Structure 1
Amino acid sequence: MEHQTVRGTGVVAGYAYAPVAWTRPAPVPPASAAVVAEDAREAEVARFKAAVETVATRFADRASAATGVAAEVLGATAALARDRGWSRAAIRLINSGTAAEGATTAAIEQFVAQFEKLGGLMAERTTDLKDIRNRVVAELMGLPEPGVPQPTSPVILCADDLAPADTAGLDPALVRALVTRLGGPTSHTAIIARQLGIPCIVAASSLDTVPEGTQVLVDGTSGIITLNPDPASAQALVEEDARLREEIRSWTGPAKTADGVGVQLLANVQDGKAAAKASESEAEGVGLFRTELCFLSAQTEPSVEEQARIYGEVFSAFRGKKVVVRTLDAGSDKPVPFANHEHEENPALGVRGIRLGWTNPGLVERQLDAIQMAAEDNGVSEAWVMAPMVATVDEAYEFAQKCRARDLKPGIMVEVPSVALLADQFLAEVDFFSIGTNDLTQYTMAADRMSSHLAMLTDPWQPAVLRLIALTAQAGERAGKPVGVCGEAAADPLLACVLVGLGVTSLSMATNAIPAVGVQLGKVTIDQCREAALQVAASRNSRDAKELAAELLG
């Protein structure tokens, strides 16, 4: 197998060289179909509940010990483990005579099928559900927890897919890279790998041909895994990568190109705690405040005053600096209980984002009232507010009118291709754009961004996506209005240079990604960025685009 390669989608750049370590397999429940006697069912339910609580408590404990995105996803998984819906289904099965192991498996499978039908983020949560199933069954059977091994020397961690609980507690000193057979560019695996600062490749469909212990070289930029490479050459690449990482660790802003052109780097945050942490970084402000993430478990709509208090925490953390608040991007993959819409066959193309105002009268207006109140309470002279999922010029006009009536600076997300195609008309109504590359890619390529089978299509390096971004940025230049990017693409150092070359004026990303982007921008001139953007956007496919950018930008 010398020099054999396996190819996937690179989502976190960098090199790593180490032996492969596969995740531990899931437990196999007993095959026995024996019925639990009626007088033993109460005890069987108690045994099931104890196992669930043990697993949920482990998730919660890990969440308490983690920080940032890792803490968020572990906390969410703990809540999912304690979810009454699936546990009630399991208890019903136990009360009808099914053993706890079989009931757990059957109940989870019911919900996996439902989540897969919903699509989007809900479909991605099937990985979490299956992980919960495996851990509960292992606990019931008295087996060790499945999942990530505990290495004592550096490894490349490989898996079919990784749940948040697998990735959140990893030690980057020992786990040098993550590679999964499934997953996509916006999966939990990719996001947490970026937070850990280790290379990551997803959707490597032939990964199962790589045996445990094989020495591999991982290239997180190209998405190539080389089996049994020349050790000296591999080590040289890793050492060069380590020098770059040290440069990243010591970087201080503000960001600017090698010839002194400034580029505004901003943070994506979801609440006051995250904003406070981001304010200690090199972030120059907040480019995306995801307000819906404050309310994922809220059963009733918070009052205007309560919302204002929450928004005020973010304004306070970045007092005197730019803060861009996105109105509720609920629906589809982010269901908010008080702002939901009836079941839809294709929710990603349904009533979500700004469209929820159609079926929830006053929802948008009350949120804008709260943002206005928070801005006034915190002395914010210019509060930037943008609406998600805008598709028509009329929607942009109506949103802008509501914002201006409250002295708020109106903008919209560019996620639907219609906005890019009619960018001049939209910019006549609003003051700024922010491009959400995750959804723009999904809708441009007609590919669910959570599908591992479509990872190549949902890559933001797709030339069609880059051309839409170019159209949008050019319209911004003509109108003299800012056009930012706040999708995952902004956190890719090479792609960040291309985006700047296309005319994007600011980049917003996870806080920990800012230094790597800052370092890369500092190595190139604005003319290099523009020339690279011109050539990359003319590429045949995303793979060629990446390789060309690496060649032109280094």
Structure 2
Amino acid sequence: MGELRGLGVSPGRTAGPVIRMAAAPTLEGLILGEGAKPVAGGVGRALGAVAAELEERARRAQGEAADILEAQAMMAADPALAEAAEEHVKAGLAVPHALDAAFAAHREALLAAGGYFAERAADLDDLRNRAIAAALGLPMPGVPDPGHPFVLVAEDLSPADTAGLSADVLALVTEKGGPTGHTAILARARGLPAVVACHGVLDLAEGTLVSVDGGTGEVRTGLDEPRAAAIRERAAEDRARLAAGSGPGRTADDHPVKLLANIGSAADLAPGAEGVGLFRTEFLFLGRRSAPSFDEQVSAYARVFEAVPDAIVRTLDAGTDKPLPFLGLDAEPNPALGIRGLRVDRLMPEVLDTQLAAIARAARATGARPSVMAPMVSTPGEAARFAERAAKAGIQRVGVMIEVPAAALLAAEVLAEVDFLSIGTNDLGQYAFAADRQHPGLADLLDPRQPALLRLVRLCAEAGLAAGKPVGVCGEAAGDPRLAPILVGLGVSSLSMSALSIPGVRAALAERTLDDCRREARAAVTRKEG
């Protein structure tokens, strides 16, 4: 039996035949000049078709998938992109080649910007392929539909591909990607096993039977159909067993661990969680040319508070991978290290003031007592100023995100200014290892089991225990059943994740005592890593 290994980013095990993504349209053999005949329409028609298709997909999707698709539709509708392509048409290029040139220039600009902007290059490649297909009168590339269950294999997957997956897709395996990319996030949201950065997977012949373990990252070949069917049956039994579990998170010796949900809006609320540990408010702002009004914000927050009165709300996490046109922020040479998250307040304090006032108004209207936390806090002083602003708005419980190593190193001092900490392992890992979250060659450095990252988590948890204040994890690591016990062993008091990840984490904790978790934590932080 052969074995490939990548990075497991969405737990679960299954088996089935490999089906590869359909190839992108090619311009090979087409005439460069304006006499090229295969053009079905102009630049505007092609880009308009792409935007319309993505908007329709967004209407059919929910939660994070819908938000991501809407952001992609906005990218396709960007006037600057259309203008660049039109200039190439005027210079004598056929529409498909003009689109190709315009997208190539935009792609180079994103890559040059680095950081989170570079992460969006793959999204731009997908838009390019869709636009050229539309210009050629071809079906837009996407997920195949063979009419039977299969394991989807691709070089990488775009948000549009991942958000539109059919029920026949058993698992996702990509040659590129990382643990915090769209493929990983949306696979976890849908409960699909997924493996990324799996070198050699594209060499597998179409129809090859494989087993996929989204926890360990193993992709095995050499199966026959009875063996594949047995793996699927066992996986279904495991899912049913986990789904049957209920109640609060606890270890085997009854140590409580709150299991909370990450949401982007009220549409993401689902049963099974003990509350909301991360309400990502930026999805209300994405893709807009003007900020949502005060009343619009109040309404969106109130819908969540009516269902979860003690939800933890993260204030606007703008910048880098979440560019917000209405802010009018200048381009930066390294946006991941620039004006993002709470740092937007340095330039536009009215944005945070309006949001805090809207949260407070929604809380009063619903009788809720939500908490707020700020992203990208780096110093105790920033934490103190945010807490003061929140208190002035009428919000009593205030925390901060720990995403910057400097804040983790001063966790005790930061906690002296606020009521709780929430650790974002995705960004904390990126900054600790100076590793782009989407760089295909650095996925191992973004593995949340890295000892250096776990030691930063331990510093925060120890500060929380000493101060008698809660410290949670709301990064993707919280939803990993193998890692959750380690985090609890380090002293973390709550875990916030995709709602679909909660049953697996609940079961993993119930199988271990607190001492078991502590032993696993000690082994993890002292593990040697190459």
TM-score bracket, normalised by the shorter chain, equals: over 0.9
Say whether the 8 Å CA contact 2:115–2:334 is kept in structure 1: no
1:146 aligned partner? 141
2:287 aligned partner? 297
1:392-426 deviation digits (Å, cap 9, x = unpaired): 11111222222233342121111111122121111
Q: Does 1:364 align with 2:355?
A: no
Q: Secondary structure at the match of 2:311?
A: strand
2:199 aligned partner? 205
Q: 1:344 to 1:109 in 2, by over 3 A?
A: same
Say whether the 8 Å CA contact 1:292–1:336 is kept in structure 2: no
Letter in 1 for 2:288: A
Letter in 2 for 1:107: A
2:273 aligned partner? 283
Q: 1:169 to 1:297 in 2, by over 3 A?
A: closer
Alpha-carbon distance in structure 1 between the residues aligned to 2:518 and 2:165:
38
Q: Which of 82, 87, 111 is 2:82 aligned to? A: 87
Q: Does 1:130 align with 2:125?
A: yes
1:266-309 deviation digits (Å, cap 9, x = unpaired): 121223333xxx1x411222111112221123333445444333
Q: Does 1:506 align with 2:501?
A: no
Q: Which of 256, 271, 278 is 1:262 aligned to? A: 256
1:101-132 deviation digits (Å, cap 9, x = unpaired): 11111111111112222334433332222222
1:208-251 deviation digits (Å, cap 9, x = unpaired): 33222222222211212222147776655544332211112333
Further displaced range: 428-437 or 401-410: 401-410
1:402 aligned partner? 389
Q: 1:300 to 1:168 in 2, by over 3 A?
A: closer
Q: Secondary structure at the match of 1:289?
A: strand
Alpha-carbon distance in structure 2 between the residues aligned to 1:64 and 1:366:
28
Alignment of 1:60-99 (within 5 A): 60-99=55-94
Alpha-carbon distance in structure 1 between the residues aligned to 2:117 and 2:146:
32
2:374 aligned partner? 387
2:16 aligned partner? 18
Alpha-carbon distance in structure 1 between the residues aligned to 2:96 and 2:430:
38
Alpha-carbon distance in structure 2 between the residues aligned to 1:342 and 1:436:
26
Alpha-carbon distance in structure 1 between the residues aligned to 2:322 and 2:73:
17
Q: Does 1:445 align with 2:440?
A: no
2:320 aligned partner? 332
Q: Secondary structure at the match of 2:445?
A: coil
Q: Does 1:430 align with 2:410?
A: no
Alignment of 1:348-359 (within 5 A): 348-359=336-347
Tell me by how many angstroms 1:454 deviates: 1.0
Say whether the 8 Å CA contact 1:331–1:339 is kept in structure 2: no
1:175 aligned partner? 169
Sequence identity, in percent?
Answer: 46
Letter in 1 for 2:246: T
Further displaced range: 198-207 or 235-244: 235-244
Letter in 2 for 1:87: A
For this pair of structures, how many residues does the alignment match? 529
Further displaced range: 418-427 or 232-241: 232-241
1:549 aligned partner? none
Say whether the 8 Å CA contact 2:71–2:286 is kept in structure 1: no
Q: 1:149 to 1:302 in 2, by over 3 A?
A: closer
2:306 aligned partner? 316
Alpha-carbon distance in structure 2 between the residues aligned to 1:340 and 1:489:
33
Q: Secondary structure at the match of 1:228?
A: coil
Say whether the 8 Å CA contact 1:490–1:507 is kept in structure 2: yes
Q: Which of 484, 498, 514 is 1:526 aligned to? A: 514
Alpha-carbon distance in structure 2 between the residues aligned to 1:137 and 1:44:
9
Q: 1:122 to 1:518 in 2, by over 3 A?
A: same
| TM, length-normalised to structure 2 | 0.93
Q: Does 1:347 align with 2:335?
A: yes
1:442-486 deviation digits (Å, cap 9, x = unpaired): 011110112122111011111111111111111101100000111
1:472 aligned partner? 460
Letter in 2 for 1:73: I
Say whether the 8 Å CA contact 2:40–2:134 is kept in structure 1: no
RMSD: 2.4
Say whether the 8 Å CA contact 1:16–1:199 is kept in structure 2: yes
Letter in 1 for 2:165: L
| TM, length-normalised to structure 1 | 0.89
Tell me by how many angstroms 1:178 deviates: 0.7
Tell me by how many angstroms 1:340 deviates: 4.6
Alpha-carbon distance in structure 2 between the residues aligned to 1:45 and 1:228:
45
Tell me by how many angstroms 1:434 deviates: 0.4
Q: Which of 47, 50, 58 is 1:52 aligned to? A: 47
Letter in 1 for 2:103: I
Q: 1:166 to 1:249 in 2, by over 3 A?
A: same
Q: 1:76 to 1:4 in 2, by over 3 A?
A: same
Alpha-carbon distance in structure 2 between the residues aligned to 1:70 and 1:305:
25
Q: Does 1:5 align with 2:3?
A: yes
Say whether the 8 Å CA contact 1:340–1:356 is kept in structure 2: no
1:552 aligned partner? none
Letter in 2 for 1:64: R
